[in-house]
Amino acid sequence: MSHSKYQSPLTSRYASEEMAHNFSEDKRYITWRKLWLNLAIAEKQLGLTDITDQAIEEMKANLDNIDYGVAAAEEKKRRHDVMAHVHTFGLVAPAAAPIIHLGATSCYVTDNGDLIIIRDGYDIVLKKLARVIDILSKFAAQYRDLPTLGFTHFQPAQLVTVGKRATLWIQELLWDLRNFERARNDLKFRGVKGTTGTQASFMALFNGDHDKEFSTLTRDDPNAQIERLDELVTELSGFSEPYPVCGQTYSRKIDIDVLQPLSGFGATVHKIATDIRLLANLKEIEEPFEKDQIGSSAMAYKRNPMRCERACSLSRHLMTLANNALQTSAVQWFERTLDDSANRRISLPEAFLTTDILLTLLQNIFEGMVVYPKVIESRINQELPFMATENIIMAMVKKGGDRQVCHEEIRVLSHQAARVVKMEGGQNDLIERVKNTEYFKPIWGELDSLLDPSTFIGRAPQQVDSFLEKHVKPALAPYGGDLKAYAKAELSV
């Protein structure tokens, strides 16, 4: 790797090889060549031109034989990247040189190529997201019944369980999985539409070919021939159908549909990573911390949550990218303008690269997440006496006590205990005060059971079981093969 000029940290520092390749120049230009090959195959099949078998074979044999030096020189001379690569391809496939890009516009390869790369990008992140959900689901099952203090407004609230809290994270990730699948499966192909979407160039070609026999088409119907050409190229490129109409480009509204789910995933990650950062501060749950890892150059004791901090940082970037697609779509004049091109070269790859990086981060975090039950128990013990006051009142009433009198007694003791905690920095001694107050003698023997944390978590364990069985299991079923091909996530730096 060169150190003499700027490198995007998304590719040089964080991204997987798989996703980095998907948005590489090799992938982009090999995809263009495949599209030119598909167009030639379809045109030959329909008898449109004198495309020879040799031309097809030379194109097939040179899909990845790209001389980037020649392409760069051509682009500098012509100021047109597509024509530079048409020329470069023709040099290694000379029999095909006269018919490469025949009837097509630049967006035939640029837009169709982008749609292929976007589709492949979604295929990569879908399997990784399924793996992340699977790992976190095992964590939720393991800690389904471990009571922990719940928080609303980041203030102590009723108890939940560690596993139940994890299901809140999983549920949002499941929605992201659904949104990714929708975006991926909704993708269609730009197809063969010509310069302004009217297919006029292909009308001219087919109108000159009326003497040719077509086995599946009427002899004098160029419209049917062109529609079939569109369908054939779409099928050869791995899509089920093309967009029915377009201008010069596919509608940039499609990019909104592509980027919104990824940005939405960024919001999910930010929430999860923030929760873990807060829990790390409470010393209840921590992200992995390696044996030789340094938390601070000055404070040797520190265990900074760098993975979750990185996740929050990258998530904020990802969340902003959907706005780029909204702004671009809104200002596309008529059949197209070119002010979409430069920013799409940045926003589309960065959205997928960032999503990919975040998925690796999440996997790494969830694989090594550490839970500290004794700290969790200690914090529960600090707050549970206050939460148990209603149980104490009910127990006293069952013993014949007056509810209002009991309420006043426990209120006074609660305020005394709270003062010790807040003003003196002491431990919550409410239960000791109850044990030393004669009024509560009828229930002294029941206090331990009244303070059992497992009686304060409601149906949380059963909710975890039901959620995993009814919602997670079916959602992950299509990814069974990917989940079996399991490899631990390693952070490069």
Residues known to be catalytic? 153, 296
Q: Contact, 153 vs 98, CB < 8 A?
A: no
The number of angstroms, rounded, from the C-alpha of 439 to the middle of its chain's C-alpha atoms is 58
Lookup: tokens for 50? 């004198």
Closest CA to 453 of 374, 370, 371: 374
CA distance 18 to 124: 8
Q: 398: exposed, middle or buried (C-beta count within 10 Å: 0-12, 13-18, 19+)?
A: exposed
Half-sphere exposure of 5 (CA within 13 A, CB side): 0
Place of tokens 């150190």: 3
CA distance 237 to 191: 9
Lookup: tokens for 32? 């263009």
Element (H, E) at 159: strand 155-161
Residue ranges in 143-246 assigned as alpha helix (H)? 162-186, 200-207, 222-236
Lookup: tokens for 140? 């939720």
Q: Contact, 357 vs 281, CB < 8 A?
A: no
Residues 6+ apart with CB under 8 A from 172: 268, 271, 272
Query: What does the longest C-alpha to C-alpha distance in the chain come to?
Result: 110
Residue ranges in 368-402 assigned as alpha helix (H)? 373-387, 389-398
CA distance 32 to 106: 10
Half-sphere exposure of 74 (CA within 13 A, CB side): 18
The C-alpha angle with vertex 212 and arms to 209 and 214, in degrees rounded to 5, equals: 115
Lookup: tokens for 259? 């980027």
CA distance 377 to 149: 9
Q: Contact, 51 vs 99, CB < 8 A?
A: yes
CA distance 274 to 277: 5
101 torsion bin: left (phi>0), alpha (psi -120 to 50), beta (else): left
Place of tokens 């062109």: 226
